[in-house]
Structure 1
Amino acid sequence: MNAPFDQLFTWLKDHKITEVECVVSDLTGIARGKIAPTNKFLHERGMRLPESVLLQTVTGDFVDDDIYYDLLDPADIDMVCKPVADAVYVIPWAIEPTAIVIHDTFDKFGNPIELSPRNVLKKVLQLYTDKGWKPIVAPEMEFYLTQRCEDPDLPLKAPMGRSGRAESGRQSFSIDAANEFDPLFEDVYDWCELQGLDLDTLIHEDGPAQMEINFRHGDALDLADQITVFKRTMREAALKHNVAATFMAKPIGDEPGSAMHIHQSVVDIATGKPIFADADGTMSELFLHHIGGLQKYIPKVLPMFAPNVNSFRRFLPDTSAPVNVEWGEENRTVGLRVPTSSPDAMRVENRLPGADANPYLAIAASLLCGYLGMVERIEPSAAVQGRAYERRNLRLPITIEDALTQMEECETIERYLGNKFVRGYVAVKRAEHENFKRVISSWEREFLLLSV
């Protein structure tokens, strides 16, 4: 055995795990993989999956044959999935002692699979390492609790809390409103502690039964793994309490959307010191260039922040959602907020990503934009003072079709993320959009059926 696998072997035995869920993330963020008895998993040291699973859409369909066979081996060969020793988590809700083990993916020659979201993030992190930098991130996850609903044509409703009443109105930061779901969140925190997830604060957000859970700042890859596990854990805890948890970007028409805000900073690997503030505590040149890169390149990677048709419904003024790539200090009306902090905690909060985004890809895209600003020495625009909602930046695509076109036409993004990834991701999202366009909505039936 090698050292990492020895570590994993010991962990599984110590926790008396009898089943292992071997998972990889597809481009949409859905976990794909196999469930194996622990003995079989340890014997095989991983699994094999067809690379084509990474090209599935949210509906389970595959991209069109022309792009499918252009990107993949015509024989639809397997990729080699190797377990990540420090990405293993217990499943507290399972009947049998079970663990999730996240896997990295390689071809038969040992090369990383370009379509793998985890590999995309690792590629971006290597860019930082090559410069002697290490990015630090702190994600914030927003989501709604709703009544369970079996009919997708019906609007979602807020669930009943401990009081027996469904929440109405908006109760941003209300302690009482958050406490309505104490039993559920006691389970969430207990389960996440067992899993080793670095949860920080719980906040009641603006919408009815809309919540936010913040993660402590840390390593970008580790936190992307944690968010992947957390979203499933949150949904399972909700089901246990007979409600649903959704990370859909805009689940309720007249209510605020749900985001995955990403706070990001950078430290010098050699010294361990942050590089976003100068000795006098002011913003460093590298920090300003980082912001400049975000401003320039976010429009080119927006599909990695807003991956679905529904994602773009979130971008509305006056809903605490960004409609621009302006930046400002302590300003929630801009897409790029610089919170008040000590010099050591100088950071920028990217408010563009939705809660529905694949965490690996959203973090990768956000860090890549900042990196490009630093190496290209991109100057940001002037910081916005006051309200910025009216500054709807024309560089920001307003539909997923426009966003996908901008992404595939950007040579810089293709150069850094790879032609195969960009083509595959755009193809998956276009296939989903074509599927969406074939659906006749309840609005059309309500107002057009007998009126036009």
Structure 2
Amino acid sequence: MNTTLIPDPLVRFLGKPRREFTRSDIVRYVREQGIEMINLRYPGSDGRLKTLNFIINDQSYLESILTCGERVDGSSLFPYIEAGSSDLYVVPRYRTAFRNPFSEIPAVDILCSYYTKDGTPFEMAPEQTLRRAHEALRRVTGFDFHVMGELEFYVVAPREELFPAVDQRGYHESTPFSKGADFRARAMQYIAQAGGEIKYGHSEVGNFTQGEWMYEQNEIEFLPTDLEAAADQLLIAKWIIRTLAYEYGVSVTFAPKITVGKAGSGLHIHTRLMHDGRNAMVGADGRLSENALKAIAGYLSLAPSLTAFGNTNPTSYFRLVPHQEAPTNICWGDRNRSVLVRVPLGWSRGAGGMACDANPLEAPTDPDVDLKQTVEFRCPDGSADIYLLLAGLAVAARHGFEMENGLQYARDRYVDVNIFDDKHREVLARLSSLPASCEESARCLEAHRTIYERHGVFAPGLIDGLVARLTAFHDANLRQEIAGDQMRIKQLVDTYFHCG
């Protein structure tokens, strides 16, 4: 394996891809690179990483940590676990190990899986749910599921007067009009060194000033990879971005909406079905395949309940409003940013001709562009439980293949017009809508729960816990109740500023 251009120091040192990491590999890296600390990391129900720190006493202790993990109190991490039976094990997954970029003490961090007192996977853990979702999808369809996320966030820093940016015109802006480019580049470097497969980063449309503070929206987009790895790297990326912001003396928020009339932050998820290294969402003619249409049918059919995993607090539904490049209606289309499921612009076969035209000295090439084609699910936001959201999308893709009328279901919900244009009211009238609150999302999850529980993917107790948590917001009429009340809106934003 040629590791020359790979930024991940563990991959470079071990000379193998992360999926092949073993316990002995981690021990060798620790011993030969002077690592003094192991940090076990695992997500709680709030979606944020929790931590256990271990100072390495000797090799025997190191091997014990890597083999046995440690006990944790599950009832303090997940509200749906009873305190009387809450002991869980957290056991490291070696493929997730990375060199901590912030620790003054040389440290390796590793993500963990949860296990019960009997040593069996904890069925209500989000990561275990994701694994079961992928296994069920493979059994039903024969396909692997690849995904990648678009991680949007605002950097909040003291206001600057030099080179002011135009309000809500920050898309792909460069320095000096974009002030956060250095922060974003450093975050990308650290994420890549931690194993994140990044496609690119850029400034996003959202920017504004409020009092003494400047808000700049950024995005880091990843490359498609297998389902489990995609979830892990998104979780690590959010931790890195926040920790780096703390070092820079600025704040960062992934919150879906932080003020009225300004762009919210989404977590768009791109998906593809893979078989033997080929993209099964593209047909022999280069067009979208029937496999893709079936997956789209599943996304649309379960869209109302998918919000239970991807839009998890009341501010989520202040983002899902018309004319804000966020979806409100359940439909799909090509390149249209107002739809729920979007088929982004792909590359035509023979795309190498563009490079030849731009660079006359280059010889013609025929790159495999089919792998670039994805199908994008656009309603999730930064409040999402990443593992459960991706598990839910895997269930939805599988469900599309299980639907008797999946192909027609998708074709009936295709739109090729701006549905908010008055000229196309009849199109808008025939489309159903996404939930408008956490309470409504909970009802949709309850209605669809048998689909999520099928094949043993989502544990019934997990669905019960999610329904109870969403219902407890009592936000069915919140958007109408506080419309125009800037003080109440600000209080709501402050409450969920650091969600997810």
Partner of residue 56 from structure 2, selected from 38, 48, 51:
38
Cα deviation, residue 253, structure 1: 2.5
Q: Identity percentage over the alignment?
A: 23
Partners of 1:323 and 1:389 within 8 A in 2: no
Partner of residue 210 from structure 1, selected from 196, 205, 217:
217
* Structure 1 position 99 matched with structure 2 position 108: yes
Partners of 2:74 and 2:86 within 8 A in 1: yes
Cα deviation, residue 252, structure 1: 2.4
Letter in 1 for 2:302: Y
Partner of residue 462 from structure 2, selected from 410, 418, 421:
421
* Structure 1 position 5 matched with structure 2 position 10: no
Question: 1:223-256, CA deviations, whole angstroms, 9 ceiling, x for partnerless residues?
Answer: 2111111111111222222211111111222211
Partner of residue 137 from structure 1, selected from 128, 131, 147:
147
Cα deviation, residue 272, structure 1: 2.3
Question: Paired residue for 1:246?
Answer: 253
* Structure 1 position 88 matched with structure 2 position 97: yes
**Structure 1 gap ranges (5+):** 57-67, 148-158, 447-452
Question: Paired residue for 2:451?
Answer: 412
- Distance change (3 Å), C-alpha of 1:200 and 1:120: same
- Distance change (3 Å), C-alpha of 1:442 and 1:347: closer
TM-score by length of 2: 0.76
In the alignment, the residues of structure 2 paired with residue 146 and residue 255 of structure 1 have an alpha-carbon distance, to the nearest angstrom, of: 14
Cα deviation, residue 43, structure 1: 2.6
Cα deviation, residue 334, structure 1: 0.4
* Structure 1 position 361 matched with structure 2 position 379: no
Secondary structure in 2 matching 1:23:
strand
Partner of residue 307 from structure 1, selected from 307, 312, 316:
312
Partners of 2:146 and 2:272 within 8 A in 1: yes
In the alignment, the residues of structure 2 paired with residue 318 and residue 361 of structure 1 have an alpha-carbon distance, to the nearest angstrom, of: 28
Partners of 1:54 and 1:115 within 8 A in 2: no
Question: Paired residue for 2:70?
Answer: 47
**Structure 2 gap ranges (5+):** 1-19, 208-215, 348-369, 422-427, 491-500
Partners of 1:309 and 1:433 within 8 A in 2: no
In the alignment, the residues of structure 2 paired with residue 423 and residue 382 of structure 1 have an alpha-carbon distance, to the nearest angstrom, of: 31
In the alignment, the residues of structure 2 paired with residue 10 and residue 430 of structure 1 have an alpha-carbon distance, to the nearest angstrom, of: 49
Cα deviation, residue 164, structure 1: 4.7
In the alignment, the residues of structure 2 paired with residue 397 and residue 421 of structure 1 have an alpha-carbon distance, to the nearest angstrom, of: 20
Instruction: Give the stretch that moved more between structures: 292-301 or 166-175.
Output: 166-175
Cα deviation, residue 178, structure 1: 6.6
Cα deviation, residue 414, structure 1: 3.2
Question: Paired residue for 1:59?
Answer: none
* Structure 1 position 18 matched with structure 2 position 36: yes
In the alignment, the residues of structure 2 paired with residue 293 and residue 137 of structure 1 have an alpha-carbon distance, to the nearest angstrom, of: 16
- Distance change (3 Å), C-alpha of 1:445 and 1:91: closer
Partner of residue 116 from structure 1, selected from 103, 113, 125:
125
| Within-5 A mapping of 1:288-307 | 288-307=293-312
* Structure 1 position 277 matched with structure 2 position 298: no
Secondary structure in 1 matching 2:40:
strand
Partners of 1:125 and 1:135 within 8 A in 2: yes
In the alignment, the residues of structure 2 paired with residue 140 and residue 336 of structure 1 have an alpha-carbon distance, to the nearest angstrom, of: 14
In the alignment, the residues of structure 1 paired with residue 284 and residue 488 of structure 2 have an alpha-carbon distance, to the nearest angstrom, of: 60
Letter in 1 for 2:167: G
Partners of 1:87 and 1:102 within 8 A in 2: yes
Letter in 2 for 1:18: E
In the alignment, the residues of structure 2 paired with residue 413 and residue 16 of structure 1 have an alpha-carbon distance, to the nearest angstrom, of: 46
In the alignment, the residues of structure 2 paired with residue 320 and residue 419 of structure 1 have an alpha-carbon distance, to the nearest angstrom, of: 34
Question: Paired residue for 2:5?
Answer: none
Question: 1:54-97, CA deviations, whole angstroms, 9 ceiling, x for partnerless residues?
Answer: 324xxxxxxxxxxx5xx54x623411211000111222122211
In the alignment, the residues of structure 1 paired with residue 114 and residue 400 of structure 2 have an alpha-carbon distance, to the nearest angstrom, of: 30
Partners of 2:124 and 2:459 within 8 A in 1: no
Cα deviation, residue 386, structure 1: 1.8
- Distance change (3 Å), C-alpha of 1:127 and 1:96: same
TM-score by length of 1: 0.84
Partners of 1:249 and 1:356 within 8 A in 2: yes
- Distance change (3 Å), C-alpha of 1:382 and 1:427: closer
Cα deviation, residue 180, structure 1: 2.1
- Distance change (3 Å), C-alpha of 1:442 and 1:325: closer
Letter in 1 for 2:76: V
Partners of 2:39 and 2:107 within 8 A in 1: yes
Secondary structure in 2 matching 1:367:
helix
* Structure 1 position 195 matched with structure 2 position 200: no
Instruction: Give the stretch that moved more between structures: 46-55 or 97-106.
Output: 46-55
Cα deviation, residue 49, structure 1: 1.1
In the alignment, the residues of structure 2 paired with residue 87 and residue 178 of structure 1 have an alpha-carbon distance, to the nearest angstrom, of: 37
Question: Paired residue for 2:365?
Answer: none
In the alignment, the residues of structure 1 paired with residue 298 and residue 232 of structure 2 have an alpha-carbon distance, to the nearest angstrom, of: 25
Question: 1:297-328, CA deviations, whole angstroms, 9 ceiling, x for partnerless residues?
Answer: 11122110101111111101111111122100
Letter in 2 for 1:92: P
Cα deviation, residue 376, structure 1: 2.1
Instruction: Give the stretch that moved more between structures: 248-257 or 185-194.
Output: 185-194
In the alignment, the residues of structure 2 paired with residue 431 and residue 13 of structure 1 have an alpha-carbon distance, to the nearest angstrom, of: 49
Letter in 2 for 1:248: A
Partners of 2:399 and 2:451 within 8 A in 1: no
In the alignment, the residues of structure 2 paired with residue 186 and residue 322 of structure 1 have an alpha-carbon distance, to the nearest angstrom, of: 29
In the alignment, the residues of structure 1 paired with residue 413 and residue 470 of structure 2 have an alpha-carbon distance, to the nearest angstrom, of: 34
In the alignment, the residues of structure 2 paired with residue 188 and residue 215 of structure 1 have an alpha-carbon distance, to the nearest angstrom, of: 13
Instruction: Spell out structure 1 runs of 4+ moving beyond 6 A.
Output: none
Partners of 2:21 and 2:94 within 8 A in 1: no
Letter in 1 for 2:314: V
Question: 1:12-58, CA deviations, whole angstroms, 9 ceiling, x for partnerless residues?
Answer: 334432222212112321222422213455434311112213324xx
Letter in 1 for 2:227: A
- Distance change (3 Å), C-alpha of 1:118 and 1:444: closer
Q: Give the superposed CA RMSD.
A: 2.6
Cα deviation, residue 404, structure 1: 0.8
- Distance change (3 Å), C-alpha of 1:433 and 1:230: farther
